[in-house]
A and B are shown apart, each in its own frame.
Chain A
Amino acid sequence: MKIKLICLSSLLLLVCSVFGQERPTAFINARVIPIVGQPIEQGILIVRNGKITAVGDARTVRLSSDVQTVDLKGKVIMPGLVDTHSHIGEGSGADGTNPIQPDVRILDALNARAGSIQRAQSGGITTVNVMPGSGHLNSGQTLYLKLRDGRIIDDLLIMTDDGRIAGGMKFANGTNPLRTSGPFPGTRAKSAALVREQLVKAQEYREKIRKAGNDKSKLPARDLNMEALAEVLDGKRVVHFHTHRHDDILTALRLQKEFGFRIVLQHVSEAWKVADEIAKAKAPASIIMIEAPGGKLEAMDVSMTNGAALEKSGALAGFHTDDYITDSRLFLRSAGLAVRNGMSRDKALYGMTMAGAIMLDLDKRVGSLEAGKDADFIVLSGDPLSVYTKVLQTFVDGKKVFDRSDPKDYLIAVGGAGATSDRDTHVHCFDGDMFGGGN
C-alpha cells in the first residue's frame, strides 16, 4: 500500500513537472526570420510549455540557468507555414444532391492518420485550413487544424476563444459548381441567385432568433443549414471563396458587400486583372502557384505574377497548396516562384505565414515568432526560397512533429516504398510525448 502511494505520488510529481515546470528550450545560433520584425543573425528562440517566451539575440535575450540549448548554427528558423486551402486528410464534404450544403462539416470526414497530413508536416506546414471541394456553390464547413501528431482528429483541432471548433465556410463560383441539370446551377448568374436566396433565408432565420430573445417558444425550429449560414452572417465563420476568373472574383466581392460576411478569396487565378478592386474591397486573397496556364478554361489566364500584382495593389496576399493540386511538401516553392515573378521576398514569406494566420483569424496565436505565440516553427537548412533548402524539423506547440534525420520522416519527405501509408499507431513511453498533443 505504501509503495503504491509512493509510486502514485512520484508519478503525480512527474506529471506536475512536465505541465507546470517544463524546462525552457533555447534554439540558438540560427538565422531567425520572425516575419514580424527584421531577421536576426545568430538568433535565439526560447520555447516553454508549447509557447514562445522570447525571440532575439545574445544582446536582447538572457538564458536562464535551467535552459536546455539546441545549437542550430548555419540553420534558419522561421514560423511554421500556414496553408489557407488544402484537401489533406482524405475528407469529402457535400454530396451530389444539392449545390448548397452548409450543414456538412469536413470535421466529420477526416482521417487524422492520413499520409497526406504527415507530408504536410514534412513540408513545414503547421496550420492548415482543410476544405471540402469546389464542385458545389457551398460544399460545407471547413476546419482549421494545427498539425500536431495525432491519433484522432480531435488532437489536431483549434478551439476559438468562445469555445467553438475553429473553421470557415467554403463557397465556390465559376465553372466547377455548374451542371447541365438541376438542382445545380447552369450559369454564373443562377449560381449567384441561388447563393443569395439561401443567405436571405439565413438573414430571416437570424432575425427570428433575435426577435425570440429569451422566449424559447418563439425560436424557429433548429435548421443546421441556416445555423451555419447565420454564423457566416455573424462573422464567426469566414467565407473561403473559391474563385478564378476576374469577373467571378468581382461577383464574390459583390455578394460579400451585400451580405457583409467576412471573406478570403481563394485561388484568384486572374487576380492580376482585378488586383486594385481586391485591395479596395479590403479582401484578403490566397494564391495558388500553378506553373502553366490552362488545364481548365477559367484558369487559362492564371499567372505566377499574382503575388506581385496583389502586393503592388496593397491587398493582403497569402498562399495555399490546394493539396492534392500542389504538393504540401513543396509549399515553400510557391513563395520562391512568387519572388521569381516580381513579389518581394519579405511579402512572399509574410504570405506563407502571417497573412495566412490573419486569413484564418489565428494571427494572435500563429504566423510569426513573437513572445506569447504558439511555438510553431520550422528549422531549414538554408534560404527559405532556395530549391536546395530542406525542411529539417517542424515543431507544433513546441513539440517536434517532423525530423528529417529520422528515417521514417525522411521517407515521408522524399517518398519511396510505403511513404504514403497511414501513420502507424505507436505509443511513446516516458519520452515526454506521453501526455498527448498539447492544448
Chain B
Amino acid sequence: MKNEKRKTKSSILFILTLFTIHCSLFTVSAQIAVRGETVWTMAAGEPITNGVVVIGANGKIEAVGAAAQVRIPNGYRTLSAKVVTPGLIDARSVVGLAGYLAQPHDQMQIETSGPIQPDLRAFDSYNPEEKLIEWLRSFGVTTIHTGHAPAALVSGQTMIAKTTGKTVDDAAVVPTAMIAVTIGDAANAGQGRSPGTRAKQVAMLRAELIKAQNYGTRPDAPRDLKQEMFKKVLNREIPLLVTAHRAQDIMTALRIAKEFNLRIVLDGASEAHMVTGEIKASGFPVIVHPTMYRAGGELENLSMETASKLKAAGIPVALQGGYENYVPKTRIVLFEAAIAAANGLSMRDALATVTIDAARILGIDNRVGSLAAGKDGDVAMYDGDPFEYTTHCTGTIINGRVVSEVVR
C-alpha cells in the first residue's frame, strides 16, 4: 500500500483491484471482535472478566485476553455479550442424517438391510441444509460429531462437521471420525435374523475383526469396503464408537478393545457409574448419554449425576445431543450440560463437556473447543449464565462468520 505514492495509472488500477479482492474477502469472513463481560476461554485458569476475542479475516482467532490488554484492530466489527464461550460441540448426534420431519426421505441414520455395515459413510448422507442443524447453531452449537445411529451392531461411520456450510465438503472437519458399534437391545436385528442376543452380537463382531486381521495380506485378494474399515480400526487409525448402556455391555466393549488392541470411545453408558473403576483403568473416554434421557428399559439405571461421577473419577467425559426417534427430534447439548451442571458438575466442568473435553475426545482440540490464538473462530454468545433456562443465546460465530443472530 505504501507504493500508492507512485501515481501511475497502472498502479492505481492495481490498488483498486486489490481493494476489490479485499472487500470480497470481508464479506466471506469478516474481521470480528467479540467482547464479553465473562469470557470462558476454556484454556487454563479462570474465565476472563471483560475479555475480548479477536478473529482475523482467515477465520482464525488472532488474540484472546482482557479488553484492557488486547487491542481491537481498526475496522473490525465488534459484538458484545454478557457471556462468551467457545462454540459448543455436540459429541454424538445423528442430525444431518436424521431430519426434523421424521419422514422416510429424511431418516438416513439407519440402514436396516444388514447388521454390519462399516462401509456406510456419514458424508454420503449428510444434509448441511437440514433444519435441525440451523436449530442447533442458534443455541451456540458450532461442531457436531454426527453419523449413523446406535441402532445396529455396526451401523456405519460418523463424521465431524461444523454446523454451517452449503456442502458437506464445506462443513466437514473430519470426514470419517469413528465406526458406530452398538452392544445391547438396540443391536438386535429382529424378525428371527442375527444378531438376536448379546452373545451373538459379540460373536459376529469378533468374527469380522478376526477376518480383517488377514485383510490386505494377499495382494491378489479383491478389495472389500467393510474389511477395509475394520482394518483401519485394527490399525488404530479409527476408533470404534461403542454405544453400550448396561454395565455388562460396557464391560463387553472393554473386553473386545483389549482382545484386539483397539481404540474405543464409550457412548451412552447409562450404567457407567456402576463400573467407573474399570472404565478409568481402561483409559477410554465416555460420551455420556444426554442428561435428560428418559430412564427405562436398558437405560433404567441412568443418572443425571453420571457425568459428574465419571469426571470425579478422572475419566474424560463429553456430553451429547444423542439420537431421538420422536419429539424432540434432537436434543440441544447446551441444555444437557445445564442439567449436568445442576447435578454435580461445576460450571467450568459442565462447559468442558461441550467444549474442550469434547474436542479432545474427538481429536479436534487443535482446531476447536477453546478460545485461543490460532484456533478456529467459533464463538457462542449469551445474555447471562448459558445454562439458565431463561438465558438466551444471542449469537453464534463459526470460522469468523456470524452464522446466527436470532435471540433464542
Contact = CB atoms under 8 A, between A and B. Distances in A.
A324 B296 contact: yes
Interface stretch (B228-236, B311-319, B333-341, B395-403): B333-341
A115 B299 CA distance: 14
A327 B292 contact: yes
Contacts of B295: 115, 119, 415, 419-420
Nearest to B300: A420
Interface in B100-140: 100-103, 131-132, 135
If over half of A's interface residues share one DSSP class (helix, strand or loop), that class is named, otherwise mixed; here it is loop
A299 to B, nearest CB: 5
Contact of B332 (A119, A292, A340): A292
B183 to A, nearest CB: 19
B391 interface: yes
B327 interface: yes
A387 B342 contact: yes
Interface string B368-408: 00000000000000000001111110000000000000000
Contacts of A297: 101-103
Contacts of B103: 297
Contacts of B303: 414-416, 419
A302 B389 contact: no
Interface string A395-433: 000000000000000000011111110000000000000
Contacts of A294: 99-102, 131-132, 327, 329
Interface in A218-245: none
Contact of A387 (B271, B331, B388): B388
B132 A340 contact: no
B327 A302 contact: yes
B263 interface: no
Interface size class of B (residues with CB under 8 A): 35 or more
A388 B301 contact: no
Interface stretch (A19-27, A151-159, A330-338): A330-338
Given A293-B131, A340-B390, A299 B294 contact: no
A134 to B, nearest CB: 12
Nearest to A340: B390
B324 interface: yes
A416 B338 CA distance: 19
B247 to A, nearest CB: 9
A390 B234 CA distance: 47
Nearest to B301: A417
A215 interface: no
Interface in A323-351: 324-325, 327, 330, 333, 336-337, 339-340
Contacts of A161: none
B389 A417 contact: no
A330 B338 CA distance: 12
A300 interface: yes
B328 interface: yes
Given A292-B328, A414-B303, A300 B338 contact: no
A198 B146 CA distance: 48
B301 A416 contact: yes
Contacts of B253: none
B328 A419 contact: no
Contact of B274 (A119, A293, A390, A417): A417
A291 B326 contact: no
Given A297-B102, A417-B301, A339 B294 contact: no
A290 B388 contact: no
Contacts of B332: 291-292
Given A290-B328, A291-B328, A340-B390, A417 B271 contact: yes
B60 interface: no
A339 B294 CA distance: 24
Interface in B55-104: 99-103
A295 B271 contact: no
B359 interface: no
A428 B305 CA distance: 30
A295 B100 CA distance: 6
A130 B150 CA distance: 32
Contacts of B243: none
B189 interface: no
B148 interface: no
A311 to B, nearest CB: 15
A324 B294 contact: yes
Given A294-B131, A294-B327, A387-B389, A420 B301 contact: yes
B329 A415 contact: no
Given A291-B331, A295-B325, A339-B390, 15 more contacts: A291-B332, A292-B100, A292-B330, A294-B100, A294-B329, A295-B100, A295-B324, A386-B389, A387-B339, A388-B342, A390-B342, A414-B303, A414-B305, A417-B271, A419-B300
22 contacts: A115-B295, A119-B295, A292-B135, A292-B330, A294-B101, A295-B102, A295-B325, A295-B328, A296-B102, A297-B102, A297-B103, A300-B100, A336-B389, A339-B390, A385-B389, A385-B390, A414-B303, A414-B305, A416-B305, A419-B300, A420-B300, A420-B301
Closest 8 CB pairs of A and B: A336-B389, A294-B100, A295-B327, A415-B303, A295-B329, A292-B328, A416-B303, A294-B329
Interface of A: 115, 119, 290-297, 299-300, 302, 324-325, 327, 330, 333, 336-337, 339-340, 385-388, 390, 414-420
Interface of B: 99-103, 131-132, 135, 271, 273-274, 292, 294-296, 300-305, 324-332, 335, 338-339, 341-343, 387-392
